[in-house]
Amino acid sequence: MKIGVLGAGQLGRMLALSAYPLGHQMRFLALSEDNPSSVLGKTFIHNNNNNNNIEVIKKFSDDCDVVTYESENTDVKIIKEISKTTKVFPGNKSLHHTQHRGREKALLNKLNIPCAPYELVNSFSDLEKAIINIGLPAILKTTKNGYDGKGQFLIKSESQINEAWEKILGVESILEGFINFKRELSLIAVRGIDGNLRYYPLVENSHHEGILRLTIAPAQKISKSLQKKAESYMHSLINEMNHVGVLTIELFDIDDELIVNEIAPRVHNSGHWTIEGASSSQFENHIRAITNSSLGETSLKSKFNAMINIIGTIGPTDRVLENSNAHLHLYNKKERENRKLGHITLTSNSYKELQNSIDNLSVYLP
């Protein structure tokens, strides 16, 4: 099939690398030719001076059998235009709920899935009231367009309220109670058009300044009941949204209770290890799902896996290639502070060996 991706970053790139062996063709709707995906498919540039070019979007759409997107921040107007002629997966409902933190929280509450307490904030006085109700510390987050910790402000004391409101530019937001978690986990699943559903194992994620730096897969010391609990939340959410493709849930682990932090309607950085670590990667499974094919196995190929992000500078990739457990993935992006330039997958059947490999590449960790 001819598969279109809205966006042309590293996620589109890795989707393409998975799609070609399955016999598909790739098209990208992008902001510029200079992006990680453009060498891997036909690229349509649709945005000039912040204006969508509807003609280009139509041409892109007409050239695709099915369209998917890289980001929950995708412009709904573009999706609506494309949907006139071409199937888009995941569908409207997934995007509607996940691109707005308020709607996301409301959905979690509706499904009785634990999440942090929150209040919608549309004005400074809303913020003041919310702080009274929720207490401090709390996090002010824009309802839209947040990623990698952007559009967020941790308010520790009342003296910071003005600064917080200014930093997020006074846009529509939510105030969220701060969760004192033991660790961060995520669960990735894939659902087919036929409703078939497969889960990857829970993984553990370490962030630094809002950016994911290290994933351990599977997360260690996870009881069967905790995995099942996470899967039950996923089951409710993915079916409620009639989601097709990969869905990711970020979770806080608090003494074996799980609190949902965020939902992403897409392949996720914390699932990049699946390229080498799982029988079928999250990218291949997303492609299989949206093309109405059978889903691939999500079981582990190695007992222990890790993913280290390459952030800001490319670093000593020689050392990565010399490491017999390591696999290098670069995204063809220019070095820039805090930018995701690539990742390293480490695979092993010994946890000690995995730890040694991580230590050996600690230059890539904060």
Binding of a second copy at residue 134 (CB under 8 A)?
A: no
Binding of a second copy at residue 297 (CB under 8 A)?
A: yes
Site for a second copy in 342-361 (CB under 8 A): 342, 347
Binding of a second copy at residue 20 (CB under 8 A)?
A: yes
Binding of a second copy at residue 196 (CB under 8 A)?
A: no
As measured in angstroms, the least distance from the Cβ of 341 to a second copy is 9
Of the candidate residues 53, 227, 332, 355, the single one contacting a second copy (CB under 8 A): 332
Tell me the C-alpha distance between 280 and 75, whole Å. 30
Of the candidate residues 201, 329, 357, 358, the single one contacting a second copy (CB under 8 A): 329
For a second copy, the closer of residues 13 and 268 by Cβ is 13
Tell me the C-alpha distance between 145 and 263, whole Å. 13
Binding of a second copy at residue 245 (CB under 8 A)?
A: no
Binding of a second copy at residue 22 (CB under 8 A)?
A: yes
Cβ 160 vs Cβ 175: under 8 Å: no
For a second copy, the closer of residues 125 and 294 by Cβ is 294
- Identify the helix (H) or strand (E) that includes residue 80: helix 76-83
- The runs of H, that is alpha helices, within 306-360 are 317-322, 351-360
Pick from 222, 231, 241, 226: which is nearest to 199 by CA?
231
Cβ 303 vs Cβ 348: under 8 Å: yes
Strands 118-121 and 173-177: antiparallel
Tell me the C-alpha distance between 58 and 202, whole Å. 39
For a second copy, the closer of residues 210 and 316 by Cβ is 316
Instruction: Count residues near a second copy (CB under 8 A).
Output: 34
Mark 155-194 with x for binding to a second copy (rule: CB under 8 A) and - for no binding: ----------------------------------------
Strand order across the 42-45 sheet = 42-45, 25-30, 2-6, 66-69, 87-88
For a second copy, the closer of residues 266 and 329 by Cβ is 329
CA–centroid distance for 106 within its chain: 20
Question: Contact positions toward a second copy, by CB under 8 A?
Answer: 13, 17, 20-23, 25-26, 39-41, 279-280, 288, 293-294, 296-297, 301-302, 314, 317-318, 321-322, 324-325, 327-330, 332, 342, 347
